[in-house]
Amino acid sequence: MPPRLPASICAIRKYLTVANKSRLEPRSRSPIFQRLIGLETEYALHIPASSSQGTLSRYGLYLQLRDALKRLIPAVEARHMKEGIFHAGGGAVWFETERPAAGGGLIEGATAECRGLRQLLAQQRAQDSLLSDAAKRAFGKEKIRLLKNDRDAKGNIYGSQENYSAEFASSWRLWLWRGALVAMLPLMLFTWAMLWLLTLGIITYTLLATIFYLGCERFIRQPEGLARALFGCTMEELGRAAPTGPRWLEAFLSFITRVITAPLAAALFTAIWLTAFVRIRRQMLPFLLSRAVTSGAGMLDDCGRFHLADKAPAMNCLTGIGGLLADRPIFTFGHLFKTVYAENWLPNDYFTLFSSQQRLQIALGDSNMAQFAEYLRVGTTLLVLDCIEAGAMPPVPKVLRPLKALRAICADPTLRTTVPLVGGGNCTALQLQRFYLEACRRFLDEQEHPLVEAREVIEHWEETLDALEEDSQSLVGSLDWVTKRWVLEKAGRGASWQTRKKIDLKYHELSPDGYYERLRSTGVAQDLLSPEEVESARRNPPLGTPATVRGRFIREFAGGAEAVSANWKAVYIGQGRRTKVIRLASYRRSLPPEGPSKDERVEQR
């Protein structure tokens, strides 16, 4: 009688058997790596205690960084709900915070829309380089640095989000979504009206507070204290202070805004949960739960334990709007909520919500310092997404209690932990990754002319999984969590938690003093991109995307006589009724040397 296989192997073999059978069925040929993709990365500001800038708000530091960035590359103001700029590379830089007066704030960089994996890697590295150089110019010898990580020493979570254009819904789900948008219109209008009333109230408060201050200024000894209570800063600082006023007013506005938007948020979330990317969410979830083995950044927790991923242990739901109710979802739809309640006052914006193609945003993923880890994170996700949309993904192994399984996978750097599957059996994260690897390999085999780039991802994916099973140390310099763990081990077992945590954070510093950058300089960490590719991406937007048009108009008109602003959908030149609007919904894959074509519709309004 032959020996019995472990239950985990049997469970995965069952799914692979189904996958092999499905290979016999004819599949339609599908485009590979052709969707628009982009990354959003939040950078923390590390301010040394000895810095003279320590008393300046993070908003003030952002303004200095923004001005320095404008000296490096042409840029225009963002026509967006968040304060920021768009630059000639096609991307954007924001000040990301909800409560600036309370002292918070991050620098967020959003890459231009890209259509290829290597194109995206170059844009992300160009963004890192631009922001690092801008910080050096803005802060000089103050040693204020940007950290490209996901969690600070106090446990605050931020980091990276991935964006992929994908099929939002089809058939009855698409019509249900469109019907829900129409049904929610009265609620949207009511919400907008309440927010306008709130804005009117803020204006009224500002006028009354100014009159009160001017009336009392001569009769009190310390008018600065009264100004701080009323405005959050002194009168001299008012023009460059955080735009939300004092802390008490900021807290009130944050609370009342949540109350006003809660009914709309609940209705929208219900519609999203029933219709949005349903098949993709279901079939991609086990892949994302196990993806940390190749793309996690590593993290030292408060008890000194090492985890594969920095942000993953903080995830508390599978699908959500993100932040409204302290939710940290794997699939986040906050961008749709912002469009509905904050940016939807233009008819063109409203009608884009009816499209069957929308932006799939994945919040489960760490910011990577290692180029190879970032390459695998995006490349494997692209392959899985292409496979799912083509209908070539076989039935996936369903993980029981996904969030608990995610934490268990990330808490074990030996990669031996097994997670239970629905229907019985267990499997490891590596086995889950191999299931998707084989499914994507078969999918590519069925394509008549698969991209060489996609084949390379398959090869690197398999080699990495093999190395993780045999000797993970061979991946030092290639995978972030392996590299960081190796660096922490070099500190010695006797090192205190504080020392090890400083190493953890300094690994992500975007400066020559950062530990990953030191490894690069010594050749331990290898780059996939050449310096010429990164330098080109610093100056030029990616071809064949809306960013091509946006970047060229910004480079041409920034700093000119007419005011210029931009967002993800259009470029605006001029003011008032004479504003020219260059819509980016229609664009060519590549532009002729002579400049924009008729596909970039210029509207006069």
User: Does 8 score more than 50 pLDDT?
Assistant: no
User: Does 520 score more than 90 pLDDT?
Assistant: yes
User: Does 196 score more than 70 pLDDT?
Assistant: yes
Q: Is 171 left (phi over 0), alpha (psi -120 to 50) or beta?
A: left
What mean pLDDT do residues 343-366 have? 81
* 498 is a domain residue: no
- Asked if residue 460 lies in contact with residue 376, where contact means CB atoms within 8 angstroms, the answer is yes
Residues 143 and 234 in one domain: no
pLDDT bin (cut points 50, 70, 90) of residue 481 is: very high
Residues 101 and 195 in one domain: no
Domain boundary among 262, 284, 300: 262
Q: Which pLDDT belongs to residue 216?
A: 87
- Per residue in 104-139, pLDDT (tens digit) is 788 999 999 999 899 999 999 999 999 999 999 998
* 483 is a domain residue: no
Query: Six-digit token pair at 489?
Result: 């081990």
What mean pLDDT do residues 562-567 have? 91
Residue with tokens 């690994």: 507
Q: Look up the pTM and report it.
A: 0.89
Residues 46 and 142 in one domain: yes
User: Does 449 score more than 80 pLDDT?
Assistant: no
pLDDT bin (cut points 50, 70, 90) of residue 576 is: confident
Domain boundary among 220, 235, 262: 262
pLDDT bin (cut points 50, 70, 90) of residue 222 is: confident
- Asked if residue 283 lies in contact with residue 396, where contact means CB atoms within 8 angstroms, the answer is yes
User: Does 439 score more than 80 pLDDT?
Assistant: yes
Outline where DSSP puts E strands in 133-260: 145-147, 160-167
Sign of CA dihedral 51, 53, 54, 60: negative
* 411 is a domain residue: no
User: Does 54 score more than 60 pLDDT?
Assistant: no
* 315 is a domain residue: no
* 474 is a domain residue: no
User: Does 283 score more than 90 pLDDT?
Assistant: yes
User: Does 588 score more than 80 pLDDT?
Assistant: no
Average pLDDT, the chain: 86
* 597 is a domain residue: yes
Domain boundary among 205, 238, 262: 262
Low-confidence winner among 13-17, 268-272, 419-423 (lowest mean pLDDT) = 13-17
Which residues have a Cβ under 8 Å from the Cβ of 508 and sit 6 or more positions away? 147, 148, 149, 297, 367, 369, 514, 516
Domain count, the chain: 2
Low-confidence winner among 24-38, 458-472, 520-534, 589-603 (lowest mean pLDDT) = 589-603
- Asked if residue 399 lies in contact with residue 285, where contact means CB atoms within 8 angstroms, the answer is yes
User: Does 161 score more than 80 pLDDT?
Assistant: yes
* 368 is a domain residue: no
User: Does 155 score more than 80 pLDDT?
Assistant: no
Find the domain containing 214 and state its range: 177-262
Higher per-residue pLDDT: 219 or 398: 398
What number of CA atoms fall less than 13 Å from residue 24's CA on the CB side? 4
Q: Which pLDDT belongs to residue 244?
A: 61
Low-confidence winner among 211-220, 364-373, 402-411, 560-569 (lowest mean pLDDT) = 211-220
